Structure 1
């Protein structure tokens, strides 16, 4: 036998011996005043332990506890422990197409969730992380520290890499440089597949460098638009881009010896992928260590110390036992208190209610649960009675019963709010749908639940649709009322229309005479002003023409050969109005501020060029 921690024996046993030696040799305080003969007469004889006996037992207890702390063991032999790992490399596509919301909440967040779940499912594997888009970057080297890897993985987003696009070949090159070994490398890719249709180059590169590719396709065949941070969607050539799953990427996985799985909202896909990787991957030995195997014996001295402690703390005196008749106990149980919260036969009522619910006798179950709930103020019974009302499609009554139940634990309270939301959703009017949304949000505050999240999204869509229908109906009603009013006006009697016109003309007659007098005065003044202005303009024109003619005569005299060319150039020039019309026509055809002068030349663009 040996001790794993003998230092406890060296440093704790000597003080224990010294302390209890002083306690055992110390005389009682009464002995300093009275002799032993007198003390024996004064003492009352009782079957109890003396002070010295108790101290001696405490001393033995302390000794055994120190021995237990020293960890006595018996050597059994040596065993060799080997650390092995398959070294999994995680590659996340963080291009803009991963922001599409055809998977909840979007492709990138779901991919990160599944990568974090893999770290939990494979705690003994070394894991590395690569982020890629047009270019690829090493986020974390191979490491057993999953907490650090999780932190770095959670911080990834589409802004981590500025280059747009998806290049799997650059990512494979990073894998090659990350693990420089002749042994196989296991790569798990989370991607929507990008836009490439031929992966032969990537397959050949992976085979040459012993890379086995596993792929989880994080997208749906139906696809979805790519939302930008400003709330809009990415467009190409004026049309909204719909990013879909590129299932051709499955060839990269299958032809390199890996597995392709299309993603789902649950964790079944990542669990299946982990099992596939473990079945295919060959773990390599990282290090080995020999350790000694022992048979522990600490519980023997510790058990003796506990027994001694019980003896030392017991007075060992005689006790008188008083037996109470069984009939008195039964009477006290049945009639002793009327304020008991639960009766003896309450379990029978609850059992009947449960069996009625399971047999789909919901009305009977609701009555039993409701009676028990009102009698005992039991939250669980209120909840169960509400469930029975929900099954009977009595949704408003069910909501009232749910609201009476109040639970301490978050799980039960979250379920209650979820059921309240379901009840409001079943009612289906606009106010109830809004109440359902509030109930679902209260449930998610207490506990995350994928079913509740899906119900919340469905109710939001239903509410928007209902509001749109009401708006359309309102617009339709307004249009019908307008049509009816128009028809009424058309159907008026001709005589009535004539009367209305005569009345209007009579009302306007008095005002017209006054206005005509004013207009005549104003016309006379304006005519006089126009005549004066025309005289001034004619005089100004004559002066300008005489100046221009003199200038032309001077120019002709200076260079008679250029005079004909100048006149021809003047004829070819556009007027200001014509130039404005020409520029306006060009601007209408051009979408930018530049003028497109070479309209006959077609601009060559690559069809593979994508803005995401």
Structure 2
């Protein structure tokens, strides 16, 4: 299906009938003027070589060439496709421990909350790489496949809790093997696992798993949380976790185990207490891994056919040789200027695409902005400019670019993509109500899009999370003079680039909501059925390990 990028150039076609009328009037005036000056029989001798047929032939060449140049300036194109942008990236899987030992508070506010904050900062630092998520306790959930959807990763990490996995315990070996299975079989890309855990393991299969990952060429970076002195595990009842003998369980970080895993796989060991220094160190290590080209869905391109009209137009102009050189030069200059504006904008778009595919988002944004200045209503320039701004974390500017793109296009697929990206930018700014409306508008244009459905559900969950909970009535107390503390709101759907403050336990998504969120969006069906399978085959599966923390 053909369309035109710049249909506004067709307004110049009104000049065609006007020129024809002027030529007819000229011929009529010429005949009258000659009849007054020279007899009809002598006109051929006075003006040798001139004929009406030659006049119409030459001027028809000129007029046809101008029409072709106008069509070329409008840029006819066939079809619209999402260009598979080639990006060089490595594959990184974050393996997060959600066992009950992570509730210990020897790292504030708890081991799990500290690990989640560290993981979210790391996801932002790994922009440009493909990132996946694996949660584990006594069993393993492959929560998110390798992707560049960092907003979804941020949401899933913020929703992680110890209640997401019914089988408690700690099986680091199984988690590492599951992570290795999530990588693509093609070994051309660097593959790394970031293990976020206190190192407590109850199955004793970590060494074998580490050797297996070493054989596969997977590097493991270990980030430890907690202390070797340890701490008890608090329970919602106010008591602490107790073993079968009724003694309070004291969970201790096992840094030696994590160091062994990192050493075996040629990785590195860090403590989460190192904060941003550890995040930056992991980012540098990942940046040194082998890269491979992966496909993205960001830039829109078209198959343009303007050259099919430009070449015949200049051939016709070359044949138009009966005019004086001044007029001929003027026509050629006009034709060149007519096409130069449209073609220069397309050249800038191609230049921006090259910068974007190589990760130079600032240079890409400048090229798109220059193209947009030449053609203020070019939807492709505005859309891609928004993508480049978003990649730089300039979410408000990306929002403005995409809003302009919506007003300059009527294509439903382009509008659906633009609404989807606009929802992401709004969510990054914490404007969840507006983000939800944007995702809904995208789904109206393209129902069933899985990415938009997931983002819409995540935004709704985060909006529910941020709703203020009813405050309990004040009870009489000896400390009545103390001010009441307002609970913090939960993490937003997509946090800003600055590291977020450590959240309170209040205001976050409830465990039940988080479990439903993962189960309905990313948990595979076989994981949802695993409990039923264990019940049907009790002789093969231990329902509860002896150490369920």
TM bucket (normalised to shorter chain) is 0.3 to 0.5
Larger relative helix fraction: 1
- Work out which structure has the larger RCO, using CA pairs closer than 8 Å and 6 or more positions apart in sequence: 2
Larger Cα Rg: Structure 1 or Structure 2?
1
TM-score (norm. length: structure 1) = 0.38
TM-score (norm. length: structure 2) = 0.42
